[in-house]
Amino acid sequence: MTQVFPTPAAHAREILAKLGAPPLPADAGEPVRGPIDGAILGHVVYDDARQIEAKVAAACRAFADWRVVPAPRRGELVRLFGEELRAAKADLAALVTLEAGKIASEAAGEVQEMIDICDFAVGLSRQLHGLTIASERPGHAMRETWHPLGPVAVISAFNFPVAVWAWNACLALVCGDPVIWKPSEKTPLTALATQAILERALARFRDAPQGLSSVVLGARDAGERLARDPRIPLVSATGSTRMGRAVAPMVAERFGRSILELGGNNAMIVTPSADLSLALRAIVFSAAGTAGQRCTSLRRLIVHESLVDKVSDAVEAAFQRLSVGDPRDPKTLLGPLIDKAAYDAFIAAMNQVRAEGGSVAGGERVLIDEHPDAYYVRPALARLPAPAPCMQRETFAPLLHVVPYNSFDMAIAIQNDVPQGLSSCVMTNDVREAERFLAAAGSDCGIANVNIGPSGAEIGGAFGGEKETGGGRESGSDSWKQYMRRQTATVNYSGALPLAQGVRFDL
């Protein structure tokens, strides 16, 4: 690395101050380590039970006021937030890089996604369309209206430390719901910075209720507390399948709603008709981008047997060429893993591949001397003769498994034969393959692409997946409905009292 950067800790402190976040405690609280050098970026103090209770109670009070603010006016707050995000884009993106390790372009893309969802939510604020419905009874008007739901808890993961919250928060705010955010223990600083940016918008907006948005810092127990709280009708949780499996029943037991965005195990099918140059770029970006730490990262490559060696060789070569290093360096394409646990899981996964008969190329740790406490690795390509148990699990690291297929039906079967169901794609120029992949008997994932990698969704569509991915949908389409309650109303203006289905009950 030729460019000289400030230490991550100093850099982070400077940005937080610039964005108006409250100063971090000098030395108390929990340390937050940055992945660039593994050093402590700062400390934060976790909320205790009383503080969480106060934030939930404040959100409940805020709800009583916010729900009757007209939705287009609520949209105005989100519009102002979008303006503030545009102004703070570079700073917030830089903090994302420091805390989550993303390269600059991806960090900027993440903040852009926050801005996009603001614009989208503002548009929604004059829609939130329910229905008028034809009634079978004369002199009756039937309609379905969507009303604000109540405080929404957002539990987010380190790998999209701000965008996923924004997807939820912007919709929730427009829908009339306060938001309580528990960020990952690994990325509290970006959460505090984001909240500070939102405070600017709140100040300009003037008359929003206190407690409309709050950040709860803490570990697993803080999340559980929110999941179990009956005053929180919706919990939107992003993270591992293990986390989701624990959270979902807690929420369900109290009749709350969950939006679960859990693990993916995303595949690409490469067919003989594919544009291989396009495919190669898509593979490398989606497998190695974000150091393989996207929930939509490519994990499994299913290549027609006639091409599997050629494609594998090309991917292996491209993996070798990728520049690994400080994510602040514009030349870097691959930043660090988030922490040692991630590195250990990476090593374990590669070992399992080998134990199950596969071979692994790449995956070496690099920059050890410069950063003994940080974990930079080369992406790894695991070649397997056929699908193996090691391919059933998601490992949050740049590890790509490749297997051959011989019929398109077999390729789809391999694609679907994992417990997760987030994202999937096919590289093909054949319209029949493309449409079969997108049809009822095709990919069983929530996201299915043709001639694009599995990652990089747009905010206009609904984001999320099936099976162990949890079934949640966020962002576009009608995802907003989850943040509201539906009411079916019938108004009888007839002066008579006919019953539906022709029932008679004459007194």
Q: Which of residues 471-500 bind its own copies (CB under 8 A)?
A: 471, 473, 476-477, 485-497, 499-500
Closer CB to its own copies, 29 or 461, in the complex: 461
Q: How far is the CB of 442 from its own copies (least distance, A)?
A: 8
Q: How far is the CB of 82 from its own copies (least distance, A)?
A: 9
Residue 157 contacts residue 164 (beta carbons within 8 Å): yes
CA distance 366 to 281: 23
Q: What is the enclosing helix (H) or strand (E) of 414?
A: helix 408-416
Single out the residue of 318, 384, 402, 411 in contact with its own copies (rule: CB under 8 A): 318
Degrees to nearest 5, angle at CA 127 with 255 and 80 = 95
Region 282-311 residues binding its own copies, contact defined as CB under 8 A: 282, 284-285, 289
Q: How far is the CB of 374 from its own copies (least distance, A)?
A: 21
The verdict on 206 binding its own copies (CB under 8 A) reads: no
Residue 178 contacts residue 63 (beta carbons within 8 Å): yes
Q: Which of 112, 120, 125 has its CA nearest to residue 85?
A: 112
The verdict on 441 binding its own copies (CB under 8 A) reads: yes
* Length reported for the chain: 507
Q: How far is the CB of 304 from its own copies (least distance, A)?
A: 16
Q: Which of 336, 331, 327 has its CA nearest to residue 378?
A: 336
Place of tokens 């490469």: 270
Q: How far is the CB of 362 from its own copies (least distance, A)?
A: 15
The verdict on 4 binding its own copies (CB under 8 A) reads: no
Closer CB to its own copies, 215 or 377, in the complex: 377
Single out the residue of 6, 249, 357, 385 in contact with its own copies (rule: CB under 8 A): 249
Closer CB to its own copies, 339 or 394, in the complex: 394
261 is catalytic: yes
Closer CB to its own copies, 21 or 121, in the complex: 121
For residue 276, what are the CA distances in angstroms to 18, 308, 321, 414?
46, 11, 18, 21
Region 133-162 residues binding its own copies, contact defined as CB under 8 A: 133-148
Which part of the chain contacts its own copies (CB under 8 A), choosing from 1-9, 101-109, 165-173, 217-225?
A: 101-109
Closer CB to its own copies, 37 or 113, in the complex: 113
CA distance 257 to 248: 9
Residue 303 contacts residue 312 (beta carbons within 8 Å): yes
Region 57-76 residues binding its own copies, contact defined as CB under 8 A: 64, 67-73, 75
Single out the residue of 12, 62, 122, 171 in contact with its own copies (rule: CB under 8 A): 122
CA distance 283 to 401: 11
CA distance 7 to 396: 26
Q: How far is the CB of 392 from its own copies (least distance, A)?
A: 14
Degrees to nearest 5, angle at CA 423 with 417 and 427 = 90
CA distance 394 to 345: 10
Single out the residue of 49, 252, 355, 413 in contact with its own copies (rule: CB under 8 A): 252
The verdict on 220 binding its own copies (CB under 8 A) reads: no
Q: How far is the CB of 109 from its own copies (least distance, A)?
A: 4
The verdict on 88 binding its own copies (CB under 8 A) reads: no
The verdict on 127 binding its own copies (CB under 8 A) reads: yes
Single out the residue of 235, 237, 446, 483 in contact with its own copies (rule: CB under 8 A): 446
Both tokens assigned to 315: 């991917």
Closer CB to its own copies, 130 or 209, in the complex: 130
The verdict on 23 binding its own copies (CB under 8 A) reads: no
CA distance 219 to 172: 23
Region 449-468 residues binding its own copies, contact defined as CB under 8 A: 449-452, 456-463, 466-468
Residues 261, 433, 468, 474: which is the catalytic one? 261
The verdict on 7 binding its own copies (CB under 8 A) reads: no
Those residues whose C-beta lies under 8 Å from the C-beta of residue 270, and which sit 6 or more positions away, are 276, 279, 301, 302, 303, 304, 307, 311, 426, 427
Single out the residue of 322, 350, 381, 400 in contact with its own copies (rule: CB under 8 A): 322
CA distance 142 to 133: 5
Single out the residue of 204, 220, 354, 432 in contact with its own copies (rule: CB under 8 A): 432
Closer CB to its own copies, 136 or 305, in the complex: 136
Residue type (1 letter), 195: Q
What does the buried/exposed string (b/e) look like for 73-97 if buried means 16 or more CB atoms within 10 Å of the residue's CB? ebbbbbbbbbebbeebbebbbbbbb
Q: How far apart are the first and last CA of the chain?
A: 88
Both tokens assigned to 504: 């008679």
Q: Strands 179-182, 152-155: parallel, antiparallel or unpaired by DSSP? A: parallel
Region 341-380 residues binding its own copies, contact defined as CB under 8 A: none
Closer CB to its own copies, 347 or 438, in the complex: 438
Catalytic residues: 261
